[in-house]
Amino acid sequence: MIRDDDILAICNIYSNSNKYKCLLPHFIKHYKNIKVDKIVFICEQDIQNFIKNQFDCKDIILENSMIFSTSSNLIEDIKVKSFFPSGASQVSLGTVDSARINIFKNKHNCWYVPLDLDEFLDVEDIHEVKNECLSSGKKYVYSELYDRITSDMSVPEKLSSKCIFSQFPNHIDITGSIMEANKKKIALCHPSLDVSGGHHGITIEPFTIEKGILCKQNDLQEIEFKTYHFKWFGDFYKMDKMKREDRKAQGLWWFNEFDRLSENNPFSS
């Protein structure tokens, strides 16, 4: 049961690949350690079954990904040409991701942390962050992505059971300096506010699937926290290539983030 004073960590999972399975135990342990009350995974039935079989689900909530329908792992089968640049025909993964999170949190009255599975918020007690927000009148706070990498700049095939921070002890700014992508992420948000596409911000108006990334954002807060980004292992090259092709086919202009990473690859072979 979800209570109003709970804080929810809400995360979409789009694949039951080994990469996601490797991340799950580290993710669950981390968010329980920082005192999140409930971890919500929005995912397909096969992923739900895996989680049920592998983990103690006492404080884990499994939400069907058909919270609204998607046609594939990467794009929503809704035509919204009038809201996007010429040639764009479908909604981005970031829009689907945030729409699902907003739909779930709107069923409840809890502060929430919107997340990807490879994002680990750097706080000791999330309730202390909430209390600071309440005392200062803030309704959301930002974090900034810090890419964690191995000590030798290699790309391991999978994770071990060792502490994930010790497996990726170093930091390099891949997302911002190399890919020139948005590093800002919402760290904690009041239930009255919707997160924007990719949960990079909060919206002034209610977030809708039709407006997606063009939904107006409120960008007044300073960055206060770090979110450690454990993306750089396994098949991320393959997944990024798929995302690039989908974005380019849809006419979404930020597909060239992946080109910049290919041209300035920081990893050892």
Q: Is 98 helix (H, G, I), strand (E, B) or coil?
A: helix
Q: 218 forms bridges with which residues in the sheet?
A: 202
> Does residue 2 fall inside a structural domain?
no
Beta carbons within 8 Å of 3's beta carbon, 6+ residues apart: 37, 110
The answer for 54, left when phi > 0, alpha when psi is -120 to 50, beta otherwise, is alpha
Q: What is the CATH number of the domain that holds 164?
A: 3.90.550
> Does residue 64 fall inside a structural domain?
yes
Structural domain harbouring 234: 7-263
Cα gap 22→200, rounded to integer Å: 25
Q: Are 230 and 120 in contact (CB under 8 A)?
A: yes
Q: pLDDT of the chain along its 269 residues, tens only?
A: 899 999 999 999 977 778 889 999 999 999 999 999 999 999 888 899 999 999 999 999 998 876 544 333 333 333 333 333 344 445 566 777 788 898 899 999 999 999 999 999 999 999 999 999 999 988 999 999 999 999 999 999 999 999 999 999 999 999 999 988 889 999 999 999 988 888 888 876 665 544 444 445 555 557 789 999 999 998 877 777 776 776 666 666 566 778 888 888 888 75
> Does residue 1 fall inside a structural domain?
no
pTM equals 0.85
Cα gap 216→224, rounded to integer Å: 22
Q: Are 170 and 148 in contact (CB under 8 A)?
A: yes
* Number of compact structural domains in the chain: 1
Q: Are 98 and 195 in contact (CB under 8 A)?
A: yes
pLDDT at 167: 97
Cα gap 32→13, rounded to integer Å: 18
